[in-house]
Structure 1
Amino acid sequence: MPIELNKEARSEAIKSIERYFQENMEERIGNIAAGALLSFFVDEVGPVIYNQAVAEVQERLQVRISELDLEVHEDEFQYWRKHDAQRKARK
């Protein structure tokens, strides 16, 4: 599944790369070069970040699924136990 940024996110990322170069590097980077650098990182590093995020979500979902039984569990065949307990309480 290719990782793609929407138009607004891509534009903001390019501006951020340009600002980073302006404030931290000895030379500036142009809009086209910043876009190419962004594309490289999205293609090269994006899948690593994406796969890690998916793995973390899967892990969290597995924990939630394992807790589900504790949250919604109902004891079975409780009618007579409740009935007998109520009968004893009345005596």
Structure 2
Amino acid sequence: MKPKNKIVITDEKKKEMISSIKEYFLDDRDEEIGDLAAGMILNFIIDELAPEFYNQGVFDSYKYMNERIEDLLSIQKY
């Protein structure tokens, strides 16, 4: 059973991300890493870092929607 709040990524997207990680290591660090190492890095990012980015997106959306709701109140008739 998957944890309730885990960020889920499709297998296709995961393969693309692993490829991007491998490309980064090769191009920017001049290191060649395999699928396993890149997958472990991706899993670390998903488990440890991605929730912070997700939560920031939720908070930003919340602020945006609250500002739009305030705008809606401005059309009231008195």
- Relative to the length of structure 2, the TM-score reads 0.86
Structure ID, larger Rg: 1
Alpha-carbon RMSD across the aligned residues, in angstroms, is: 1.1
> Aligned ranges for residues 1-91 of structure 1 at < 5 Å?
1-71=5-75, 73-75=76-78
TM-score w.r.t. the length of structure 1 is 0.75
Q: Which consecutive segments of 4 or more residues in structure 1 shift more than 4 A?
A: none
State the Cα deviation string for residues 16-66 of structure 1 (Å, max 9, x = none). Answer: 001011111132110111011100011000111011110000000000111
CA distance in 1: counterparts of 2:38 and 2:50, whole angstroms: 16
Unaligned stretches of 5+ residues in structure 1: 76-91
Aligned residue pairs, count: 74
CA distance in 1, matches of 2:13, 2:29: 23
Identity among equivalent positions (%) equals 35
Which sections of structure 2, spanning at least 5 residues, go unmatched?
none
Higher relative CO (CA 8 A, sep ≥ 6), structure 1 or 2?
2
